[in-house]
């Protein structure tokens, strides 16, 4: 039986993006006024796990890190079909950057025990660093394939996957245990169902704290985060128009000069 861990993050509902505000002091998202949902790409990761379970034997653990209210999204994963939910929650985990988040998640996965596959969304809709998945793989010392869009062969230990690569794609042969980050073209996630919610009544969420993971408080949360957000701002896209005169040749020469001067052409 495949043992799959799906990493999920609670993010502010992207549909309510206009309500999202940033604390100017801590430079972190103010989450109180916006409903939290499962990071949309993590839904694709969970759906991939559910597909593997439907077509073979698999047990799925949904793993998240966040304050206790983030347990709601773990519960949703259980309603969607995950077998077990684990929430890493401790005041010490707060303020974590991608690195500290990946470290904490990796420690959680180590505590879960033997696994075959870790699935993550390619990026979160709020942070969007795309670093957490690969960093978890590094901490776990397993191969990682990013931007997986199709699992072509998934039997035994040797898998073949198709993954995005700039304008094309890669076909990657990988041996389990491994970690994949997935794109939205991998599948179409199922919606929550009422009967799934009812079934989730029988499933429990385990909460693990700093003590459960047996890690130093210096290595997690804000203290374990090497990233410093120095400044936040809004990018201003300014446009200006310059009308060129002269003959067609003169205008073409002037245009080449302007583009070369701006570094747009070599």
Residues that bind another protein (CB under 8 A): 18, 37, 72, 75-76, 79, 191-198, 201
**Residue nearer to another protein on the CB measure, 79 or 98:** 79
User: Rounded to whole angstroms, how far apart are CA atoms 123 and 87?
Assistant: 19
CB of 65 to another protein, least distance (A): 20
End-to-end CA distance of the chain: 56
**Residue nearer to another protein on the CB measure, 18 or 214:** 18
CB of 193 to another protein, least distance (A): 6
**Residue nearer to another protein on the CB measure, 18 or 248:** 18
In terms of Cβ atoms closer than 10 Å to its own Cβ (0-12, 13-18, 19+), residue 28 is middle
Quickly count: other Cβ atoms within 10 Å of residue 89's Cβ: 23
**Residue nearer to another protein on the CB measure, 193 or 209:** 193
CB of 34 to another protein, least distance (A): 14
User: Rounded to whole angstroms, how far apart are CA atoms 154 and 158?
Assistant: 7
CB of 194 to another protein, least distance (A): 5
Report DSSP state, residue 123.
Answer: S
Tokens linked to 179: 């970690």
Reduced to 3 states (helix: H, G, I; strand: E, B; else coil), residue 236 is: coil
**Residue nearer to another protein on the CB measure, 63 or 73:** 73
CA angle 57, 59, 63 (to 5 degrees): 150
CB of 195 to another protein, least distance (A): 6
């Amino acid at each position: 039986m495949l043992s799959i861990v799906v990493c999920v993050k609670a993010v502010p509902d992207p549909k309510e993006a206009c309500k999202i505000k940033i604390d100017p002091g801590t430079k972190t998202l103010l989450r109180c006024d916006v409903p939290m949902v499962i990071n949309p790409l993590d839904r694709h990761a969970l759906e991939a796990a559910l597909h593997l379970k439907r077509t073979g034997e698999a047990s799925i653990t949904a793993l998240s890190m966040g304050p206790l209210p983030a347990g709601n999204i773990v519960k949703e994963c259980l309603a969607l079909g995950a077998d077990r939910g684990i929430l890493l929650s401790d005041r010490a985990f707060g303020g974590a950057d991608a690195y500290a988040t990946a470290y904490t998640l990796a420690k959680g996965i180590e505590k879960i025990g033997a696994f075959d596959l870790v699935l993550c969304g390619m990026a979160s809709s709020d942070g969007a660093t795309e670093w957490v998945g690969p960093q978890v793989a590094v901490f776990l010392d397993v191969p990682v394939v990013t931007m997986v869009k199709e699992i072509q062969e998934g039997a035994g230990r040797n898998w073949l996957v198709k993954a995005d690569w700039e304008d094309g794609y890669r076909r990657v042969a990988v041996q389990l245990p491994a970690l994949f980050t997935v794109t939205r073209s991998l599948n179409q996630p199922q919606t929550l169902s009422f009967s799934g919610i009812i079934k989730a009544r029988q499933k429990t969420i385990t909460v693990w704290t700093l003590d459960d993971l047996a890690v130093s408080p210096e290595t997690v949360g804000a203290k374990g985060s090497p990233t410093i957000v120095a400044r936040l701002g809004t990018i201003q896209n300014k446009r200006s128009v310059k009308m060129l005169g002269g003959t067609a040749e003169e205008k073409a020469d002037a245009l080449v000069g302007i583009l070369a001067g701006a570094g747009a052409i070599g």
